[in-house]
Structure 1
Amino acid sequence: MLHTKRWAALVGLAALIAGLLPATPAAAASVTFRAATLNIYNGLSDADFRHDLDLIASRADLVGLNEVGNRKALLQSWAAANGWWLYSPGGVNQAGETLIARKSQFDVLDQGSVFVCDTNGPGEVPPARYNNWVKYRHKASGRNVIQINAHANASIEDNGRPEDLPRTRCAEQQFQNLKDLAVAKQAEGQVIVSGDLNVDFSADRAVGYARFPWAVFEANQLPNLRSVYNLYGEQGTGTHGNRHIDYVYFWKRLPEYQLMWLTGYEIVGGTKSDHNGVVATFSIEK
């Protein structure tokens, strides 16, 4: 009888301890959504632009677009007709990093745009850079999701090594600002970062230049950003030629605090643009 009572007490204690521990991803009830990035070349015809917009929208629920500031009116009419939220602030340069989200899955809570740098002055090439963000409430889970979207200057790296140019220094400022935004927003919800960063993932990781995305975003200990390529390898031949320069990241926390997981991704080809899209699938705890 004494042995039975001790065993019952031990079982009860174990159950109490288990109840206090955080739920594991396998045990927690969760729902999924998809977040994407696509740079739609600004020189496309309206028909080809619409093709790429419809293509990426058919694969995702949140999308960060790049190079679309000259299509603001088209985007506004498309979003209104198709049930999408649209954040496309300011003029052509600022609106270039537009964010869209399905109204059926998300509500908009807040949004903002951060000016980062203007390499050669107003109206000069390359244009001014902005990091745009929107904070959403994911309806199915009730949790906040923040997407930050960016487009870095082109021609800033050579096989993972930085080019010694003003545009490179501008991009370095932008990467740091993206990291700072992600750090600030992670207290408000689950953070996703997307965009065309114009630095190849594998070359960047091999070189490890201190001011490029691998070192700024991914190489440090948790909590930190993690990209689809870091977690699941480089799929396909690339997102721009043979380079993987278009990214989706999420804010990866210590396991006991993680409420959202990046569970896989695909590269979306068949675009009219010179870029392929990237669509990441997320599981988020209810």
Structure 2
Amino acid sequence: MRRTTDWSARALGALAGAVALVAALLPAAPAAAASVGFKTATLNIYYGLSQADFAHDLNLIASKADLVGLNEVGARKAFLENWAANNGWWLYAPGGTNQAGEALIAKKSMFDVLDKGSIFVCDTNGPGEVPPARYNNWVKYRHKATGRNVTHVNAHAVASIETAGRPEDLPRTRCAEAQFQGLKELAVDKQDEGQVIVSGDLNVDFSADRSYGYAKFPWQVFEANELPNLRSNYNLYGERGTGTHGNRHIDYVYFWKRLPEYQLMWMTGYDIVGGTKSDHSGVVATFSIQD
């Protein structure tokens, strides 16, 4: 009986050793990737506000985000330069009033600036006429906590280009169509350099656009195609509140969504920011970026 017990013990010991050896030769399971969060916002601050109301809206949206795309702020460029210098923010607001209108700001504590640029899109009715010229502005940042590149693209499309998702047959509509296509091409170009976020007042209502599906408007240009592609806060998490401009959801935050195995940055949620003096509410999207 003792011999059987000794043999069984030796056999079990040998089996355990073999299992341990095989386990040691197998590749270790990858550790869960750590991630870091930040927030990106968009807000159209109506150009006709008083200085006090403008400052209120700027400080409101800056208190809720780390990257911000602004619209209609070109006439406040000097104020923005002083505000950014005094509050620890980067500012990119190139050129004159129209070009600087689509300004981008970022917290210096969280991001470094690597590159930036501005692309002229169109001037619908000629220099100095209404609506004014349109530009797609962008800044490539390095996210300090992760070392990853994040390009933020910001734009403002002309108004009165759609009714219930249907395009108006106007020169301004063709200008907007060119701008949307330009934004898509810029996002495609920059996604090879890192992560991409696109923001702005696009003056097309999300639900109406998705329902009608005009081929040259944001839903079809940005979102209806398979991955990789742009995805908006509304597509991912639905429409919230009554709208960002009246009852319309026309202010967007997008990010470049890749196939899951290549995704390094995710949009994890968003909020609509009310209480502005402007005729727009803001949108703040939360992102998680892999360390």
| Aligned-pair identity (%) | 79
The equivalent residue for 2:90 is 85
Q: Deviations over 1:187-216 (max 9, x none)?
A: 111100000000000010111110000000
**Structure 2: gaps spanning 5 or more residues:** 1-10
Q: Deviations over 1:193-244 (max 9, x none)?
A: 0000000000101111100000000000110000000000001110000100
Counterpart Cα distance in 2 of 1:228 and 1:77: 31
Alignment of 1:105-124 (within 5 A): 105-124=110-129
Counterpart Cα distance in 1 of 2:265 and 2:17: 41
Counterpart Cα distance in 2 of 1:83 and 1:183: 30
Q: How many Å apart are 1:42 and its aligned residue? A: 0.1
The one of 184, 206, 214 equivalent to 1:209 is 214
The equivalent residue for 1:236 is 241
Counterpart Cα distance in 2 of 1:124 and 1:42: 16
The one of 53, 71, 74 equivalent to 1:48 is 53
**1:9–1:166 distance in 2 versus 1, CA, 3 Å:** farther
Q: Deviations over 1:147-172 (max 9, x none)?
A: 00000010000001101100000000
Matched, 1:16 2:16: no
Alignment of 1:1-286 (within 5 A): 8=20, 11=23, 15-16=26-27, 18-19=29-30, 27-286=32-291
Over aligned residues, Cα RMSD in angstroms? 1.4
Q: Which runs of 4+ in 1 moved over 2 A?
A: 1-13
**Structure 1: gaps spanning 5 or more residues:** none
When normalised by structure 1's length, the TM-score is 0.94
* Amino acid paired to 1:148: V
Question: Secondary structure of 1:59's match?
Answer: coil
Counterpart Cα distance in 1 of 2:284 and 2:24: 45
Question: Secondary structure of 1:239's match?
Answer: coil
When normalised by structure 2's length, the TM-score is 0.93
Q: Which has the larger radius of gyration?
A: 2
Aligned residues between the structures: 279
Q: How many Å apart are 1:18 and its aligned residue? A: 4.0
Q: Deviations over 1:70-115 (max 9, x none)?
A: 0001101111111100000000000000000001111100000000
* Amino acid paired to 1:263: T
